[in-house]
Amino acid sequence: MKKRKVLLKICSLILVLGYFSGIFTATSAYAQEDILTITQNAGYQTNEFYKPKASIVIEAQTGQVLWEDNPDLKWNPASIAKLMSVYLVFEAMANGQFTLDTTVKATDNDQAISQIYELSNNSIVSGVDYPVRDLLYATLVQSSNVATVMLANLVTANDEAKFIHMMNDKAKKLGMTNSTFYNCSGAETGSFNGYYKPEGIDQNADNVTTARDLAILSYHLLKNYPDTVTYTSPTQITIMENTPYAEVLENHNYSLPGLAYGYEGADGLKTGSSPTGGFNYAATAKRENTRLIEIVLGVGDWEDQEGELQRHAFGNAIFDQAFATYEYKQLLPKGNNTINKEEVILEQDFYGVIQRNTEPAFNLSADKVTLNTSLTQVSPTIKAPSVGFKYAKKLKALQHSTLLKNGNKKNSLSTFFINGLLVILGFLFMALSKLFKKEPSETGNAKNISPLFVLGIILVLVGIGLSIYTVGVGPWI
């Protein structure tokens, strides 16, 4: 008995040690495969000093997370905040407030802001009319603070504080739960020398957000306003062409094809840098049917401008890993399919994200087909891909029901008549069996169950069974 207890304790100890050893090994393996290691293995020269504070990669169609590292760390996004301002500009155009050809007459304040050396700007001259289209290019290519302010004032008829409240309201609506905006451009209000001063808003506060929230914003921006990439993809563009105010703008997104860290398929979104935020990067790239969105925050230090390039090394490396591991593709065609041994009919083609060189698995729930995956959604407000379906047998019954409604009732009525007749005959035979039942002989050898009675039971059961079939599937004749 004592030996048995000792053996049980030894076995329990081995199991516990094995369990925690497995956890330690898995954690160690995961820790080694961090963003710095991935970037160095991709061939980029970098070190711990430049390692991002937070990062995330999501698939742009589904909003599913393919990579994350501290995605909910609160951070100053610097000029990436302009993406929220641009979202509100596109929304205003969609609501009919103005168009791309609408012009904004520059004010003395606008000209003064454009001349503040410490801010990223383009040239603005008071009294000149600037088309919305060109102001969008200035905002997204040149990262112009003055162009952003001019667009924000157009949306709200020069109510600067109202626009900030709109930014925060929109953030909540989109599911950006850890974001607060204090200015429209990413630069502290106090740095505008009083020329931009939203009433009641803290002038010295930095915008606050997270990698996850910026990914959510980018997801909705690209989904609702896909033309965004038209304004984020040029490496160089001239605005106010054929006027005395023509100006060439240069893009700071060095991952665009043709630039220093050119990446195949990259076409936006926005960079941002500041003394408190370091160097940040929001990017999107598309290869074949797969479009990805990534956010990289807090690369290096403002005092070392090498971080402006290093952010692209990290961004390219995790893009590479995500593109190599996952793809967005058609998983099931519209129409007849067999899923989990069930014959179903899909309302439309089903697309989703899957690891390359693997076979998808599916779930049937209520009237939806979903992908059985370990990937999570970047936000609970963004639902996982699904497609409606009907079971094939139910559809067949519906088709028979439709035929009935269209006047072809004869077969169904005839079927129910025969089913009922079988049940009636069954009961009749059971009754007759009582009449012809033999009296027991003196020896007691008479059979207890009459053949007529057995036949009656069979007819009743067949009639009931065929009636159930007719209701569930359709006429059997």
Distance CA 261, CA 306 (A): 13
Catalytic residue among 55, 82, 179, 450: 82
Rounded Cα distance, 393 and 342, in Å: 10
**200-204 contact pairs (CB < 8 A, 24+):** 200/161, 201/161, 201/164
Residue 206, C-beta contacts closer than 8 angstroms, at least 6 positions apart: 76, 182, 188, 274, 276, 277
- Binding positions for substrate are 270
Establish whether 450 is a catalytic residue.
no
Look at the block and give the residue holding tokens 């974001």: 179
Sort strands 54-59 and 278-287 into parallel, antiparallel or unpaired.
unpaired
Q: Which amino acid is at 257?
A: P
Task: Assign residue 353 a region (left: φ > 0; alpha: ψ between -120 and 50; beta: otherwise).
Answer: beta
Of the residues 55, 79, 179, 412, only one is catalytic, namely 79
Active site residue 79: yes
Directed axis angle between helix 145-156 and helix 160-174, to 10°? 90
Query: Rounded to whole angstroms, how far apart are CA atoms 333 and 49?
Result: 48
For the chain, give the number of residues. 477
Question: Which listed residue (120, 143, 218, 379) is catalytic?
Answer: 143
Active site residues: 79, 82, 143
